[in-house]
Amino acid sequence: MWSNFFVQQDEEGRMGVAGAGQGGVLGGMKGGRGQRRTPKMSDSQEGKIKLAFFVAIVGITLTVLGMGTEFWVELAQPKNFSGNQTCQMAHYGLWKGCIRTLWVADIDPERTSCGPAELPGESNCTYFKFFTSGENAVIFKKTTNKNLNLASAVLALLSLTMMAMGSICIAMSLSKGVQFFLKPASFCFILSGVLALISVLIFHQSVLALLSSDHSIPLHHQLSWSVACVGSAGAILIFGGFLFIILSLPVSPWQKCWPHKNSAT
């Protein structure tokens, strides 16, 4: 009887040890699964992201330069319109406009209109009042369309906001070492580029509306270098956004098109 009792106790002890061992293995497997982390990006991938971000920074710099200056358009009277030794021209941007008085002797003889704005002369610059009191500006008896000007300025500010959000996403992606933030960054940069281009188009429509408001004074108009900066920045930002989309893909499209051959083949 005692021998059977000890045999049962021995068998139950072995089963308990086996169960505890299996529980420890399962617990370790669950713990291992719970501690699994997102794989970090490689050094080459991080270098590609930094290169694409440099492209985006170039677009951001051009956008800030263009939006902060008042050389979006130049409006020039005929250089002999006043009949004296001086002539007037105007140039303005999103926020401020300037009236310049130039000497006719300094203007190129082959040029029929007053300008360019880089010539020495007297300048009188004022900020537009349709941002504060809602008043339209009058330039050479021509009245601006405040709705178009405000729409262009608001789109420009939204473009800057999206650039800032995209830059934050890229900074977080590089600091955390993950690619999760590349897709929202690409969306922000593409949208900012599109908004910048739409802002330029609406601004051009506002210039045409200004010219058609009064025909008593003939004016020669041309878009200046600030518009060129913003337009180029919009294209660069869109290109940078597509670069981030390509970098966020799990498999590079170049590897699909030209797969690397292994050493055995």
For residue range 26-50, list pLDDT tens digits in order: 444 444 454 455 556 677 888 889 9
- Can you read off the two tokens belonging to residue 181? 């933030």
The answer, yes or no, to whether residue 264 has pLDDT greater than 60, is no
pLDDT, tens digit (0-9, with 9 covering 90-100), for 48-73: 899 999 999 999 999 999 999 999 99
Which H or E element spans position 5? helix 2-34
Q: Where are the alpha helices (DSSP H) in 128-262?
A: 146-176, 182-212, 225-248, 253-257
The answer, yes or no, to whether residue 195 has pLDDT greater than 90, is yes
Q: 10 Å Cβ neighbour count for 241?
A: 25
Angle at the Cα of 251 from the Cα atoms of 249 and 254, rounded to 5 degrees:
105
For the 44-249 domain, the top CATH level (class) is mainly alpha
Evaluate if pTM is beyond 0.85. no
Q: What percent of the chain lies above the pLDDT cut of 90?
A: 48
